[in-house]
């Protein structure tokens, strides 16, 4: 029977826990020692963004700061998570040379998760592993998991949701729109479940930890022995802690899309890949590239290698996309939640915006224009027929807010938008819900209209990206300003067409887009 070490580091800050993650993984890579089962808890409560995420896009920073919560960055990929002191983190550190670890990543994740599933069974809870990386009870997540590696060593970790802190999660996290589905944040309780809501009377932490220990012992046929960190592990921890507590680590990726000279792109599957490309417009070259999002990739350095490969390349999609494809073929990193095509698409969307710069748009303006099924280089020659406006830009209380028409009373930006569209010969329509958008897509196809220009928020575009693509229509979208339903956690209402707040159309950009398109059409006449 093999032996594992048990290390319970107790209740620590976010930075301290992240430092132990890195230290124990490095130590395992150095000496290939016995596998380790580690328990961890957090105080104060904290939000941990994934290794490749931008805090400003994933976390409600003002809420975090005002409540005295920590924020930090995990060494594993995936999405942002909220940790309160009640939750129990569990981790396994081991080496790929072990007989049970000689398998695919997906098989390894399932195998290690079995230890926690067995523990929950001992507590009277029937749980299952749900690919890509969750443990669920009756279809609701009770433990999210993820991994990281260093040379031949790996760490696989998970959280066990204890007390019901759904409300704090909602306030702390900017849950990606593409993960919310139809029911949005309002129904997060339909997506996750907390241990103390499932059992009674309440079970204390020592009992739960003991069940997890027994679960791993039975699944892996090992004895798990109480231990403490070695001198070398302490040395590594002490060296790493200052960096893990620094803004350099926590905000190493943050608001890249707002940097000067940056073009951005996005691609979505189950997870999301975002890309920012710093462009030297005079030389038409990429100065640097950065990818981020809620995805898993192993080894993590593969992202750095890809970004380094793309430095100083020509800013031409037809030359750099094959480079990305070849990189993934050669490096063959393990991806969860996204595919290599998502990196290609995100980069393509960013770099193709160079054409907009050449047409006279600023970097900021170019990043506010999305194209679907239309080449950015030739969009002014595309025969658009309609302009689609979002109902949320109409006045709250206006009797036309939920109608496709507008009286153009000058009470909101939509009236001016209608006038601009009509001046260019485009038929304006107000989209009153997602179902309204789908009906409009079908109507345009049926009547053989090739496409439209429109306006929406980025969150709506990301969430419904596949619907826009699958419409078969040529589409140019201009991002709206002001607070959206996604900022206010009301996307369920927006789906129905019941969002009761107001956004603002970017009339200056709309006017510029329509003027350039109108001139392009006249040149074809």
Residues of the chain with pLDDT > 90, as a percent, come to 66
| CA atoms of 229 and 476, how far apart (whole Å) | 57
Query: What strands, in cross-sheet order, belong to the sheet with 272-280?
Result: 262-268, 272-280, 285-293
pLDDT of 256 reads 65
Domains of the chain, each with CATH number or no CATH: 2-250 (3.30.930.10), 265-367 (3.30.390.50), 372-525 (3.40.50)
- pTM for this model (two decimals): 0.71
Query: What strands, in cross-sheet order, belong to the sheet with 474-479?
Result: 369-372, 474-479, 451-456, 386-390, 427-431
Q: Beta strand pairing status for 81-83 and 128-130? A: unpaired
Residue 61 CB contacts under 8 Å (≥ 6 apart), including other chains? 55, 71
**Rg value, the chain, Cα:** 25
134 pLDDT above the threshold of 90: no
133 pLDDT tier (thresholds 50, 70, 90): confident
Q: Beta strand pairing status for 222-226 and 262-268? A: unpaired
8 pLDDT above the threshold of 90: yes
CB atoms within 10 A of CB 138: 11
pLDDT of 178 reads 39
pLDDT of 496 reads 47
Identify the residue with better confidence: 296 or 520. 296
489 pLDDT tier (thresholds 50, 70, 90): very low
Could you read off the pLDDT of 269-292 as tens digits, one per residue? 778 899 999 998 888 899 889 999
pLDDT of 299 reads 87
174 pLDDT above the threshold of 80: no
Kindly report which listed range (6-10, 161-165, 343-347) carries the lowest average pLDDT score.
161-165
> Are the C-beta atoms of residues 334 and 371 closer than 8 Å to each other?
no
pLDDT of 260 reads 65
Q: CA-based angle 20:10:250, to the nearest 5?
A: 40
488 pLDDT tier (thresholds 50, 70, 90): very low
79 pLDDT tier (thresholds 50, 70, 90): confident
Q: What is the 3-state secondary structure (H, E, C) of 117-177?
A: HHHHHHCCCCCEEECCCEEEECCEEEEEEEEEEECCEEEEEEEECCCCCHHHHHHHECCCH
416 pLDDT above the threshold of 60: yes
pLDDT of 179 reads 44
CB atoms within 10 A of CB 246: 12
Across the chain, mean pLDDT equals 89
For 330-344, b/e burial (b = at least 16 CB within 10 A) is eeebebbbbbbbbbb
> Are the C-beta atoms of residues 165 and 83 closer than 8 Å to each other?
no
| CA atoms of 459 and 479, how far apart (whole Å) | 10
pLDDT of 330 reads 95
Could you read off the pLDDT of 360-393 as tens digits, one per residue? 999 999 999 999 999 999 999 999 999 999 998 8
């Amino acid at each position: 029977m093999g032996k594992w070490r048990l290390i319970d580091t107790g209740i620590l800050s976010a930075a301290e826990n992240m430092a132990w993650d890195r230290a124990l993984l490095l130590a395992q890579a150095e000496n290939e020692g016995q596998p380790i089962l580690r328990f961890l808890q957090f105080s104060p409560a904290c939000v941990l963004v994934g290794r490749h995420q931008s805090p400003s896009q994933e976390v409600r920073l003002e809420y975090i700061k005002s409540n005295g919560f920590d924020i930090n960055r995990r060494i594993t990929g995936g999405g942002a998570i909220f940790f309160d002191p009640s939750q129990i983190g569990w981790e396994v550190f081991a080496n790929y040379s072990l007989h049970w670890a000689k398998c695919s990543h997906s098989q390894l994740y399932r195998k290690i998760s079995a230890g926690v599933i067995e523990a929950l069974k001992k507590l009277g809870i029937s749980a299952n592993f749900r690919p890509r990386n969750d443990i669920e009870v009756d279809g609701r997540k009770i433990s999210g998991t993820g991994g990281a590696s260093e040379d031949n060593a790996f760490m696989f970790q998970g959280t066990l949701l204890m007390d019901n802190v759904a409300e704090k999660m909602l306030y702390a996290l900017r849950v990606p729109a593409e993960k919310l589905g139809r029911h949005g944040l309002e129904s997060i309780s339909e997506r996750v479940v907390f241990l103390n809501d499932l059992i009674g009377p309440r079970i204390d932490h020592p009992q739960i930890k003991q069940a997890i220990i027994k679960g791993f012992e039975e699944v892996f046929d090992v004895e798990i022995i109480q231990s403490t960190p070695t001198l070398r592990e302490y040395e590594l921890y002490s060296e790493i802690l200052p960096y893990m507590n620094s803004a350099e680590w926590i905000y190493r990726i943050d608001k890249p899309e707002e940097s000067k000279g940056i073009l951005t792109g996005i691609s979505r599957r189950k997870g999301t890949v975002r890309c920012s490309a710093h462009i030297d417009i005079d030389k038409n070259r990429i100065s640097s590239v950065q990818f981020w999002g809620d995805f898993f990739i192993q080894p993590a350095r593969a992202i750095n290698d890809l970004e380094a490969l793309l430095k100083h390349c020509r800013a031409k999609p037809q030359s750099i996309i094959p480079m990305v494809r070849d990189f993934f073929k050669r490096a063959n990193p393990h991806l969860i939640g996204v595919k290599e095509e998502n990196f290609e698409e995100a980069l393509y969307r960013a770099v193709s915006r160079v054409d907009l710069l050449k047409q006279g748009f600023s970097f900021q303006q170019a990043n506010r224009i999305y194209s679907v099924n239309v080449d950015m280089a030739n969009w002014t020659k595309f025969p658009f027929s309609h302009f689609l406006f979002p109902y949320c830009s109409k006045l709250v209380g206006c009797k036309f807010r939920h109608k496709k028409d507008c009286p153009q009373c000058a009470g909101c930006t939509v009236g001016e938008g209608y006038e601009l569209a009509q001046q260019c010969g485009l038929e304006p329509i107000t989209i009153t819900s997602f179902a309204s958008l789908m009906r409009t897509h079908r109507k345009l196809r049926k009547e053989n209209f090739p496409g439209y220009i429109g306006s929406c928020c980025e969150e709506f575009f990301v969430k419904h990206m596949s619907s826009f693509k699958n419409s078969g229509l040529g589409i140019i979208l201009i991002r709206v300003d002001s607070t959206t339903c996604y900022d206010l956690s009301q996307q369920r209402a927006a789906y129905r067409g019941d969002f009761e707040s107001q956004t603002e159309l970017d009339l200056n950009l709309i006017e510029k887009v329509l003027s350039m398109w109108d001139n392009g059409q006249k040149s074809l006449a």
